[in-house]
Structure 1
Amino acid sequence: MPRDSSALLTVRDAAQRLNVTPRTLKYYEERGLVTPTRSEGRYRLYDEQNLEQFARILRLRALGFSLHGITEMLKRPLESLDDGRRRYSQESLQQIADALAQQIDTLDARIAAVRRELREAQTVRTELAGDLDYLRQRLSGVPSETLIDERLAATRRRKEEAKASEPPGRRPSTRGGKRNSNTSGASPAAKPAESNDEGESASERKHGSARE
């Protein structure tokens, strides 16, 4: 049944009735809380039901409720009590509480995912900053040997700091008896040569220098 156009108010008139700005009414409409009628010229027109909805929203906002909470509240009807007041039933209150709790769980999961992503991004940024610092120093004329030695020393320091930060009393497992320290008579495996240049081992660099 079409609404009586004589009972419809423009956005300006509706705002004056509610003592708010037209922009406030448009904002709540954009949030999907109120749906006005549209004239043939696409102007907003509000009826008494719209005004009651707006008044309810404004009261809830004045009480400090969030728009997300108000959205859930508006989905449930108010019940009339014997004294003429209108209240939510226990069932409706439980439904609203469940809906808000679910939103909080969803937001907590999003926050945790963002924090993980931030930690990963910070790790990558730190690594890239170290690489960039090396390249800039190489471009400024610092010998690669000096920079590589510094990087190796920094790596050793980080390992030592990580080892020192381990809880005291932690020892490697000796299950099955004491460790067999090379009782087979076999010579220990040769330690790989450390890389002291961009992909060049120390021995290669040494022989290369001799050839020069």
Structure 2
Amino acid sequence: MRTESDPNLLTVSQAAQALGVTARTLKYYEELGLVVPGRSEGRYRMYAAADIDTFRRILRMRSLGFSITAITEMLKRPMVVVEPGKNRLAASDLTAVHSALASQLETLRARTAQVRKELREAEKLEAQLTRDLQYVEQRLRGVPADDLLAERARQTAPKSRSAR
């Protein structure tokens, strides 16, 4: 446990102010597991300098339009100094990020295709149930079953070549 009297640690409100964001923003990134602050003896969030650096990295990547998924993958890897004041991911780490994101995208695309298929099937079932409901409603209004069944047969019969 960290102590609240440690001058190197910031509370959530102090960290939020230092970063120019709301405390809720910091808590959101914590909920995503991107930053896990220490806790004081009183169970308050206490942010170390490394936590603040991670938040700065997250905020910079978000401002550049990176997704939370990409940020999560990038945060798993260390930054290397390419020149004074400039840190980047190593090429091998970029390759790992690429593989992880491509795999997640492939999985998402497969799931999207499955959802689209399920939607088409649901729409077909909806159309069938709508026709069935209309049949029952017309029967309740007194329309003879033979008339409705003949109409239904005409609607479902294959079209002749001359009608095309």
- Give the Å deviation of 1:163: 10
What does residue 47 of structure 1 align with? 48
* Alignment partners' CA distance in 2, 1:60 and 1:19: 15
Listed as ranges, the matches of 1:128-147 within 5 Å are: 128-147=129-148
Runs of 4+ in 1 over 3 A off after TM superposition: 1-4, 161-165
* Alignment partners' CA distance in 2, 1:90 and 1:40: 41
What does residue 60 of structure 1 align with? 61
What does residue 18 of structure 1 align with? 19
* Alignment partners' CA distance in 1, 2:73 and 2:162: 53
TM-score normalised over the length of structure 2 = 0.92
* Alignment partners' CA distance in 2, 1:161 and 1:92: 63
* Alignment partners' CA distance in 1, 2:48 and 2:74: 21
Letter in 1 for 2:42: G
What does residue 9 of structure 1 align with? 10
Is 1:27 equivalent to 2:28 in the alignment? yes
What does residue 159 of structure 2 align with? 160
Change in Cα spacing, 1:163 to 1:83, as seen in structure 2 (3 Å) is farther
Letter in 2 for 1:76: R
Preserved CA contact (<8 Å) 2:2 2:38: no
Q: Secondary structure at the match of 2:142?
A: coil
Name structure 1 gaps, 5 residues minimum.
166-212
Letter in 2 for 1:66: S
What does residue 73 of structure 2 align with? 72
Q: Deviations over 1:78-111 (max 9, x none)?
A: 1122545222111111111111000100000100
Q: Secondary structure at the match of 1:5?
A: coil
Preserved CA contact (<8 Å) 2:61 2:71: yes
- Give the Å deviation of 1:41: 1.9
TM-score normalised over the length of structure 1 = 0.72
Looking at both structures, which has the greater relative contact order when contacts are Cα pairs under 8 Å and sequence separation is at least 6? 2
User: For the aligned residues, what is the CA RMSD?
Assistant: 2.1
Q: Deviations over 1:124-177 (max 9, x none)?
A: 111111111111100001111111111111122xx1179977xxxxxxxxxxxx
Preserved CA contact (<8 Å) 2:2 2:46: no
Letter in 1 for 2:56: A
Change in Cα spacing, 1:162 to 1:13, as seen in structure 2 (3 Å) is farther
Letter in 2 for 1:48: A
Q: Secondary structure at the match of 2:7?
A: helix
Q: Which has the larger radius of gyration?
A: 1
Change in Cα spacing, 1:141 to 1:2, as seen in structure 2 (3 Å) is closer
Q: Secondary structure at the match of 1:73?
A: helix
Letter in 2 for 1:75: K
- Give the Å deviation of 1:60: 0.7
Name structure 2 gaps, 5 residues minimum.
none
Between structures 1 and 2, the one with greater helix share: 2
- Give the Å deviation of 1:65: 0.7
Listed as ranges, the matches of 1:120-199 within 5 Å are: 120-156=121-157, 159-160=158-159
